[in-house]
C-alpha cells in the first residue's frame, strides 16, 4: 500500500517530523514568504498530495480546487482564517488546527504585554537610546501598578482563561465577554465575571483580545469602542489583526482616547502602519505569540500528529469543520 503524500508549507521543526516521515511520504515545500511565487508553485504541485500542513498561505477556493487528492489540511497554529473551511467541508476535506501548543506561550506574551504597557517599557527604552535619562521622580515619567486594575478579556477560550489565571495571581480584577458564559465552577476558579460587551470596554484598564477572526469580529474594536474606553486604558492584541480597525486605533492614540496599545498582530502583516511604529506608547512584536523553542517544537508535533492520526488511525484530531 502506497504511503500518503504530505506537503508541508511552513516553518515546522524538522526534529518533530520523525513519526510522520515513518508513515507518510513527506515533502517540505515553500513557506509562503514569497507570496506570488510560492503560491504558484503550490497551485502547480498540490494535486499530487493527500495532506497538507500550512502556516500562512491562503487555502482558498482556487487552491482547494487544485488539490484534487487532498483529504486533510492541518494549520500550523490555532488560527484557521486563511483556510476556506466551509468549502473544504463541501469537498470532503478535513480541516484541523493546533490549539494546545500555542496556549501557554501566547498567554505568557499577553502577560508580558500588559506589564510592559503598565511599566512603560517602550517609552523608557526609547528615551535611554536617545540619550535621555528620565527623572523618575516626575509624575509624568512614572508607570502604573497593575494590582487592583481591571483586565477585560474579549474571547474566553483556553488562552483567555490562562491569561485570567495569570491576572488573578497578580491581584487584577478580571471581567470577560464571550459568545457563551463559562460555567460557575470555572468562573469561580478564574475569579472572572461575565459582562456584556459595552460594560467590558467601559470598565477595562487593559482590554485583551483573544477572539478568532470571523465576519462577526472584523473591526469589533473600532472608533466607537475607543470613544467608550477609559483614557487610561491599554489595548492588548495577540489574537488577529483584523479585530482592530488600525486607522481608528491610530486616531484614538493621537487623540488621547486611550493610553496605549501592545500589538503582536496587525491588519497588514508584515507591514504595520508607520504611525504605530513611531509612537512611544505602542509596543509591537512580529506575531511571535507561539515563538518559543519549546512551543514551536510542540506546535510542529501537534500539526504533524493531526495528519498522522488521520492517515494511520482514521481519526481527525482538532477538527474544526
Asked whether the predicted pLDDT for residue 209 surpasses 70, the reply is yes
Q: Tell me: the pLDDT tens digits for 276-298? A: 999 999 999 999 999 999 999 99
What's the whole-number average pLDDT of the chain? 96
Asked whether the predicted pLDDT for residue 179 surpasses 70, the reply is yes
Q: Tell me: the pLDDT tens digits for 129-150? A: 999 999 999 999 999 999 999 9
| Grid cell at residue 36 | 506570488
- pLDDT category, 2, cuts 50, 70, 90? confident
The reported pLDDT for the residue numbered 117 is 98
Closest to 205 (Cα-Cα) out of 154, 164, 150, 258: 150
The reported pLDDT for the residue numbered 36 is 80
Write phi, then psi, for 67 (nearest 5 degrees): -90, 75
Instruction: Give the C-alpha separation, 30 to 37, whole Å.
Output: 9
| Grid cell at residue 77 | 497554529
Classify burial at 90, counting beta carbons within 10 Å of its beta carbon; exposed 0-12, middle 13-18, buried 19 or more: exposed
Mean pLDDT of the region 254-274: 96
Instruction: Give the C-alpha separation, 142 to 251, whole Å.
Output: 24
Instruction: Give the C-alpha separation, 142 to 148, whole Å.
Output: 17
| Grid cell at residue 120 | 512603560
Write phi, then psi, for 26 (nearest 5 degrees): -105, 130
Asked whether the predicted pLDDT for residue 1 surpasses 70, the reply is no
- pLDDT category, 172, cuts 50, 70, 90? very high
- pLDDT category, 35, cuts 50, 70, 90? confident
Asked whether the predicted pLDDT for residue 216 surpasses 90, the reply is yes
Asked whether the predicted pLDDT for residue 272 surpasses 90, the reply is yes
Classify burial at 183, counting beta carbons within 10 Å of its beta carbon; exposed 0-12, middle 13-18, buried 19 or more: exposed
DSSP-based three-state secondary structure for 244:
strand
Asked whether the predicted pLDDT for residue 114 surpasses 90, the reply is yes
Torsional class of 27: left (φ above 0), alpha (ψ -120 to 50), beta (otherwise): beta
Q: Residue 135, CB half-sphere, CA atoms under 13 Å: how many?
A: 4
Show which residues are catalytic. Answer: 240, 269, 287
Asked whether the predicted pLDDT for residue 214 surpasses 80, the reply is yes
Mean pLDDT of the region 221-237: 98
DSSP-based three-state secondary structure for 271:
coil
The reported pLDDT for the residue numbered 56 is 87
Mean pLDDT of the region 173-180: 97
Write phi, then psi, for 246 (nearest 5 degrees): -65, -35
Asked whether the predicted pLDDT for residue 32 surpasses 80, the reply is no
Q: Residue 151, CB half-sphere, CA atoms under 13 Å: how many?
A: 37
Classify burial at 107, counting beta carbons within 10 Å of its beta carbon; exposed 0-12, middle 13-18, buried 19 or more: buried
Query: What's the predicted TM-score (pTM) here?
Result: 0.90
The reported pLDDT for the residue numbered 33 is 74
Task: Report the run of H or E that residue 245 belongs to, with start and end.
Answer: none
Amino acid at each position: 500500500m502506497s504511503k500518503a503524500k504530505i506537503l508541508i508549507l511552513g516553518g515546522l521543526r524538522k526534529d518533530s517530523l520523525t513519526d510522520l516521515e515513518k508513515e507518510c511520504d513527506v515533502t517540505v515545500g515553500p513557506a509562503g514568504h514569497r507570496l506570488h511565487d510560492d503560491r504558484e508553485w503550490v497551485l502547480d504541485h498540490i494535486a499530487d498530495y493527500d495532506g497538507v500542513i500550512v502556516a500562512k498561505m491562503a487555502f482558498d477556493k482556487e487552491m482547494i480546487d487544485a488539490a484534487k487528492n487532498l483529504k486533510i489540511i492541518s494549520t500550523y497554529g490555532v488560527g484557521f482564517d486563511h483556510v476556506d473551511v466551509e468549502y473544504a467541508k463541501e469537498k470532503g476535506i478535513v480541516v484541523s488546527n493546533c490549539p494546545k501548543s500555542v496556549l501557554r506561550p501566547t498567554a505568557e506574551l499577553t502577560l508580558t504585554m500588559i506589564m510592559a504597557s503598565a511599566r512603560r517599557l517602550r517609552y523608557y527604552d526609547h528615551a535611554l537610546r536617545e540619550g535621555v535619562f528620565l527623572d523618575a521622580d516626575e509624575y509624568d515619567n512614572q508607570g502604573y501598578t497593575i494590582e487592583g486594575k481591571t483586565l477585560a478579556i474579549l474571547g474566553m477560550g483556553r488562552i483567555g482563561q490562562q491569561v485570567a489565571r495569570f491576572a488573578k495571581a497578580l491581584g487584577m480584577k478580571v471581567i470577560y465577554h464571550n459568545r457563551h458564559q463559562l460555567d460557575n465552577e470555572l468562573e469561580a476558579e478564574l475569579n472572572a465575571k461575565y459582562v456584556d460587551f459595552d460594560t467590558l470596554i467601559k470598565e477595562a484598564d487593559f482590554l485583551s483580545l483573544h477572539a478568532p477572526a470571523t465576519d462577526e469580529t472584523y473591526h469589533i474594536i473600532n472608533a466607537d469602542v475607543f470613544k467608550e474606553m477609559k483614557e487610561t486604558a491599554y489595548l492588548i492584541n495577540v489574537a488577529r489583526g483584523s479585530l482592530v480597525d488600525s486607522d481608528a486605533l491610530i486616531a484614538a492614540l493621537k487623540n488621547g482616547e486611550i493610553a496605549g496599545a501592545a500589538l503582536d498582530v496587525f491588519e497588514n502583516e508584515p507591514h504595520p502602519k508607520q504611525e504605530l511604529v513611531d509612537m512611544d506608547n505602542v509596543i509591537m512584536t512580529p506575531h511571535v505569540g507561539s515563538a518559543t523553542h519549546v512551543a514551536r517544537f510542540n506546535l510542529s508535533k501537534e500539526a504533524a500528529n493531526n495528519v498522522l492520526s488521520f492517515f494511520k488511525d482514521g481519526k481527525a484530531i482538532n477538527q474544526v469543520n
